[in-house]
Amino acid sequence: MEVRVENGGSCEVGKSGWGQSLPVPSIQEIVRSDFQSVPQRYIHENKGGPIISEDLADSLEIPVIDFSFLAKGDEDEVQKLHLACKDWGFFQVINHGVKEEILEKMKAAVAAFFELPFQEKKKYAKAENEIEGYGQNFVVSEHQKLDWSDMIFLFTFPSQNRNFKFWPLSLPGFKEALEEYSREMQKLAEELQANFSVLMGLKRDGLKRLQGGELKQGIRMNYYPICSRPDLVLGISPHSDGTSFTLLLQDDDVTGLQIKHNEAWVPVKPIPNSLIVNIGDATEIQSNGMYKSIEHRAVTNEKKPRISIATFMFPDDEQEIGPVETMIDDQNRPKLYRNIKYVDYVREKFSRKMEGKAHTQFAKLRATSDH
Ligand SMILES: O=C(O)CCC(=O)C(=O)O
Ligand SMILES: [Fe+2]
């Protein structure tokens, strides 16, 4: 069925510097229009893998890490973190010290952005060759299945990387909320990175020193409108994050995130005011495969739209990433990944995606040594 969207509800998707871009309609606009059935391009026939029911998932909840213990250097909590990263690649963080008010302000700012009229949001649209701005997921072919979500992505740290032409500055409170929130995420990320360093046999500042400074930060705000047939569509298709790690804030009352665990999709039930952390590809590589960058996806629902805010922490483009020496043992843990400059890693990950290959398995495909 041809869907006509009023006000030209489509947006040029950024090329991200790695390939063609195609105009894709805003799903929010499609939902607002009077559409009759789910457009074919959004129907994912094979969603892959069984889903663990929500009841069963209760007994299979992802690990919960108490950040206040971690920050005190509590040995048991550090051990829990190790197991969480190794067995799940995902965990929820409670007692993280970020004021509830800051989280709520951030969620409200994102909701207010997506409530703006399409013509207004379009002012912040991704441009060609840019990864930043408002748009839809990375689209490279007419035949590619589309996700049931719109998003805006902004670089937030270091602060000189902020590109305000993509920030909705006329939206009251947005800039303040994002600045405050991103500062808090940077602090949390620093403590997490220090813990990952220790777990990898380095000093607390080991990973930071390796990359010659703080991790970079970009925030992706996702909006998943309701869908009359959530069984047919995906909010975000399965992927792993090409980050060092990601901190996710989401609506407290709508379950949407699912993670791959033992070949099944496990829904992650949000704990109010907590944050979800997942290991990204760069940490999987640096830990020489000890910690896992897990495939995840988001589903939609019939009753409530959902917002999620993903804070991506990632190395500098020029940093070479590879297994750290302390994680390699020629006898028991030989080097599983070859070293690669981060920017080249990201490029290869996306070019695999463009070729329709399983980019999510990319980190594992690098399982060859330098020589
Ligand atoms: O919305 C979610 O729960 C997941 C978002 C996500 O995976 C991403 O933005 O990379
Ligand atoms: Fe993700």
Backbone angles phi, psi at 121, to 5 degrees: -60, -35
Overall average pLDDT of the 285-304 stretch: 95
Tell me how far the alpha carbon of residue 362 lies from the centroid of ligand 2, in angstroms: 15
Annotated domain spans of the chain: 39-363
Q: What percent of the chain has pLDDT over 70?
A: 85
Q: CB of 298 closer than 6 A to ligand 1?
A: yes
The vertex-44 CA angle with 38 and 47, nearest 5°, equals 140
Q: Could you give the CA distance from residue 207 to residue 283 in angstroms, rounded to a whole number?
A: 10
pLDDT at 53: 64
Q: Is the pLDDT of residue 366 over 80?
A: no
pLDDT digits (tens, 9 = 90+) for 324-364: 999 999 999 999 999 999 999 998 888 777 676 654 444 44
Q: Could you give the CA distance from residue 79 to residue 81 in angstroms, rounded to a whole number?
A: 5
The vertex-336 CA angle with 334 and 339, nearest 5°, equals 115
Q: Is the pLDDT of residue 266 over 70?
A: yes
Q: CB of 256 closer than 6 A to ligand 1?
A: yes
What CATH number does domain 39-363 carry, 2.60.120.330, 3.40.50.410, 3.30.2350.10, 2.60.40.790? 2.60.120.330
Q: How far is CA 133 from CA 72, 85, 125, 233, in A?
A: 38, 31, 5, 24
Tell me how far the alpha carbon of residue 237 lies from the centroid of ligand 1, in angstroms: 9
Residue minimizing CA distance to atom 1 of ligand 1: 308
Length of the chain: 371
Which segments of 20-176 are extended strands (E)?
23-25, 64-66, 90-94, 133-135, 150-157
Top mean-pLDDT range of 10-19, 40-49, 129-138, 171-180: 171-180
What ligand 1 atom has the least distance to the C-alpha of 246? 10
Q: CB of 294 closer than 6 A to ligand 1?
A: no
pLDDT digits (tens, 9 = 90+) for 4-30: 333 345 544 333 343 445 567 899 998
Q: CB of 310 closer than 6 A to ligand 1?
A: yes
Q: What percent of the chain has pLDDT over 90?
A: 71
pLDDT at 360: 45
What ligand 1 atom has the least distance to the C-alpha of 257? 3
pLDDT digits (tens, 9 = 90+) for 188-213: 999 999 999 999 999 999 999 998 89
Residue minimizing CA distance to atom 9 of ligand 1: 310
The secondary structure of 37-58 as a DSSP string is: S--GGG--S---S-B--HHHHH
Pocket test of ligand 1: the residue of 241, 296, 307 to mutate, having most ligand atoms within 8 Å of its CB, is 296
Q: CB of 222 closer than 6 A to ligand 1?
A: yes
